[in-house]
Amino acid sequence: MVELIDGSENVSVHGIFNWILLLTIFSIITVVANFIGYEHPIADSLIGMAILSLITLAGVWMERYLPLNISSIIYISVIGIALAFPGMPTSEVVSYYVSQVELLSIVTVFLAYVGIGMGKSWNEFKTLGSRAIIITILVIASTYLGSALVAHIVLVMTGVPA
């Protein structure tokens, strides 16, 4: 717990401003990509990205300021689910605007940052032998297929229509 609080001291007003700036940059790029790829109205998808950015901001802020050892991923998920839950007063507005931003637009921009970010690991990657690559491919493929097969069997057994 102590470390948790320690880690938060470098988050100043300046820090929050940087988060907002980065989320704004990301939102603008995503909205442009979203317009080119799916031709959703720019104004609507901007509002959608603003909602998603606010949820993210709340999540990362809570992770650092609330004295609980909970990851921001959990906070963000709970807030997102609660806002869109049918019956909540926010449900319709949030669902409409967020649906204007396609997941694949977000992912396309996100993975550009991932690609640049993983460049640093390139040398480490090159020194690992082909055996490590074979095992990694096997691990990913068998985890994916194992999960899909079990899910399929349970879905069929519980009678979920396709």
- Residues 95, 84: Cα–Cα separation, whole Å: 6
116-135: contacts with another protein (CB under 8 A)? 116-122, 124-125, 127-129, 131-135
Least distance in Å: CB of 135 to another protein?
5
Q: Are 3 and 14 in contact (CB under 8 A)?
A: no
Helical axes 72-84 vs 42-65, angle rounded to 10°: 130
Decide: is 18 part of the binding site for another protein (CB under 8 A): yes
Report DSSP state, residue 106: H
Q: Which amino acid is at 135?
A: I
Q: Among residues 43 and 154, whose Cβ is nearest to another protein?
A: 154
Among 45, 46, 98, 100, binds another protein (CB under 8 A): 98
Least distance in Å: CB of 43 to another protein?
18
> Does an H or E element contain 122, and which?
helix 122-127
64-83: contacts with another protein (CB under 8 A)? 64, 69-74, 76-83
